[in-house]
Every structure is written in structure tokens, then in C-alpha cells.
Amino acid sequence: MSLSEARFHDLVDATQQTVEDIFDDSGLDVDLENSAGVLTVRFENGSQLIFSRQEPIRQLWLAARSGGFHFDYDESSERWICDTSDEQLGEMLVRITLEQCGAELEFDEL
């Protein structure tokens, strides 16, 4: 079942807001920029995470130092799931944040 355009945008907006809130509350020195549906997280060491919405295919994309990842929304688990590894977005963000800035954050809400 395909997501409607409105539901897709609502889900991405909510996900990006959750990511922003987690980083805001973390105490890390990060720069957050959300512009035209693209959320960029810049770490103190210069590395970045970039979250972008791919509306035509209803995916959330994540660019990180370790590569690019594409996520489909799974209605049954209410989670974004990587289309190649089946890893949940929250699990991947725990790993990637640790790799990129050395911080252990919890992304349980994702």
C-alpha cells in the first residue's frame, strides 16, 4: 500500500522534527538546518547527516559519511526501514552518530 502524498509529508516532517529534538536535547555541539524539506545535521568535526524526502518514490533518504541510505515507511511497525539492510532508521542513527561524532544517542522514537 502506497502512502498518500499528505501522509508521506506528515511522516517525514514528524521524523525530521524528532531528529532535531534529539540532537537539541543531546548537548552536542551541532548545527541543525531544515530548509525546503532537507534536514542537515553538522557535527563539530565537520561531518554531516543529510535527511531528504524523495516524494515521487515516497522514501526518506539519509546521506552520511558511511554512505547513502533509502528508507521506506512500514505501516505495520510504524518505522522507517532501510530498503537494502532492513535496519530501522533509529537503529542506524545510533550507529552512524557514534561513528561520526563519538556520541551515543538514543533514537528509540524512530
Identify the band that residue 14 occupies on the pLDDT scale cut at 50, 70 and 90.
very high
- Residue-wise pLDDT tens digits, 49-108: 999 999 999 999 999 999 999 999 999 999 999 999 999 999 999 999 999 999 999 999
Asked if residues 71 and 88 have their Cβ atoms less than 8 Å apart, the reply is: no
Helices (H) and strands (E) in the chain, counts: 2, 6
Which residue is listed with cell 547527516?
49
CA-closest candidate to residue 53, choices 6, 21, 90, 96: 6
Domain topology for 5-101: Metal Transport, Frataxin; Chain A (3.30.920)
Q: Give me the pLDDT at residue 2, please.
A: 79
- Domain boundaries along the sequence of the chain: 5-101
Q: Are strands 38-43 and 67-74 parallel, antiparallel or unpaired?
A: unpaired
Separation CA 64–CA 57 (nearest Å): 20
Q: Return the number of other C-beta atoms located less than 10 Å from residue 35's C-beta.
A: 7
